[in-house]
Amino acid sequence: MKKRTLGTTGLEVTSMGLGCMGYGDAIERKDMIASIRAAFERGVTFFDTAEIYGPFTMEDVTGEALEPFREQVILATKFGMNIDSATGKMLGGVNSRPEQIKSAIEGQLRRLRTDYIDLYYQHRVDPNVPMEDVAGTIKQLMDEGKVRHFGLSEAGVDSIKKAHAELPVAALQSEYSLWTREPEQELFPTLEELGIGFVPFSPLGKGFLTGKIDENTKFDASDNRTKVPRFTQEALKANQSLIVGLKAIAERKGATPAQLSLAWILAKKDWIVPIFGTRRIDRLDENLAAESVHLTAEDMTELDRLSGGFEVTGARYSEAMLKMSGL
């Protein structure tokens, strides 16, 4: 796979990464391990997870999957949610106090079966902890060799600038896709100005942009999408017009809607590295093939117009998720 560099700190990763999140409690451990290792075999060396996924479950799964070739991959995880570091009990909201970060990372290193984390993201900005304290704590962990690069997730421009002034931020992670384009407005100029990479999660709109989901799709009760307003039956029906247009362009390009959606992101900026999640090998192969889809300037204009002229029905998070995340 081709390589890209995130930020000015020299963090080189593959052009796409695998998001190791899983949905709810229905994760099949062996399937997730198999998909992570299959991604590595196909050239992917960038893997992303978080303390809160489970909690703890996906860090443990990812650690087991990557242990045989740890030194050949870039491993990212996240801190900053209010979790009991000993038990994994969710306490609600965010927590980036220095003592919480230092406690969290010890468990994370153990679960991930490693001595260091390549990219350590603050999962959500904590309004009660000055960014100077957060960055200062990460700097200490870097000095100890436990962290190599600092990242932020779902942070706004002010928080990004404060963090970067204290410690170079290698990457910002946020949602971005053909139906979530808000980062273009304020974040992109700031990231470009400061030399910070961008790692979009949900580049396929949590599966919607694959063209395989409609108002008749039934989700398992443990699937997080059952709590997302965009995935109600009414919203899925209203949003299908975007898929109709996407499928038409994809057919003309000899690609699938998923491949076209990823290729569009890759063509936006050379410092953008999308991460997608899947436990299916056939979907993994389909998504990775997006790297070979060539989009002309005319194709990009057409896709921009299609998504830019479309008003998405439904919010990307529920009110409860927003409150829990501190957004």
- 152, β-bridge pairs: 122, 172
For 104, 108, 222, 324, the CA distances from 25, given in Å and listed in that order, are 22, 20, 6, 19
Q: Return the number of other C-beta atoms located less than 10 Å from residue 127's C-beta.
A: 11
Residue 233 included in any domain: no
Structure tokens at 304: 């921009």
Please state the rounded mean pLDDT for residues 216-222. Answer: 88
d(CA 134, CA 125) in angstroms, rounded, equals 9
Q: How many Cβ atoms are within 10 Å of 140's Cβ, its own excluded?
A: 14
* Weakest mean pLDDT among 184-193, 213-222, 311-320: 311-320
Total structural domains within the chain: 1
pLDDT exceeds 60 at position 52: yes
Q: What is the pLDDT of residue 27?
A: 61
Q: Per the domain annotation, does 117 fall within a domain?
A: yes
Question: Sorting pLDDT into bands at 50, 70 and 90, what band is 322?
Answer: low
CA separation, residue 129 to residues 56, 136, 211, 304 (Å) = 23, 11, 42, 38
Task: State how beta strands 81-83 and 90-94 pair.
Answer: antiparallel
Point out which residues pair with 14 in neighbouring strands.
Answer: 3
User: Does 55 reside within a domain?
Assistant: yes
Q: Which of 53, 120, 121, 176 is catalytic?
A: 53
- Using the predicted structure, report yes or no on whether residue 24 has a pLDDT greater than 50: no
Domain coverage including residue 59 = 3-206+261-293
> Considering the entire predicted model, what is its pTM?
0.95
- Side chain identity at residue 82, one-letter code: N
How far from 140 is each of 22, 34, 273, 312, CA to CA, in Å?
31, 35, 27, 43
Judging by DSSP bridges, how do beta strands 81-83 and 74-79 pair with one another? unpaired
Q: Mapping DSSP to helix (H, G, I), strand (E, B) and coil, where does residue 202 land? A: coil
Computed over every residue of the chain, the mean pLDDT equals 94
Cα 298 to chain centroid distance, Å, stands at 28
pLDDT at residue 205 above 70? Answer: yes
Catalytic residue status for 121: no
CATH number, domain of 19, equals 3.20.20.100
Alpha-carbon distance of 207 to 225, in angstroms, equals: 10
Residue 318 scores a pLDDT above 90: no
In a domain, 253, yes or no: no
In a domain, 53, yes or no: yes
Element (H, E) at 171: strand 169-175
pLDDT digits (tens, 9 = 90+) for 110-163: 999 999 999 999 999 999 999 999 999 999 999 999 999 999 999 999 999 999
What is the structure's pLDDT at 140?
98
Look at residue 324 in the predicted model and tell me its pLDDT. Answer: 54
Whether 319 shows a pLDDT value over 80: the answer reads no
Between CA 322 and CA 268 the distance in angstroms is: 28
DSSP string computed for 65-121: HHGGGGGGSEEEEEE-EEE-TTT--EEEEE---HHHHHHHHHHHHHHTTSS-EEEEE
Residue in the block written with tokens 């039934």: 218
Is the pLDDT score of 323 beyond 70?
A: no
d(CA 152, CA 169): 7
In a domain, 247, yes or no: no
Residue 194, pLDDT score: 98
Kindly tell me if the per-residue pLDDT of 25 is higher than 90.
no
Q: Kindly state whether residue 100 falls inside one of the protein's structural domains.
A: yes
Please report, to the nearest 10 degrees, the dihedral formed by the alpha carbons of residues 57, 200, 210, 29 taken in order. Answer: -10
**Residue 222 falls inside a structural domain:** no
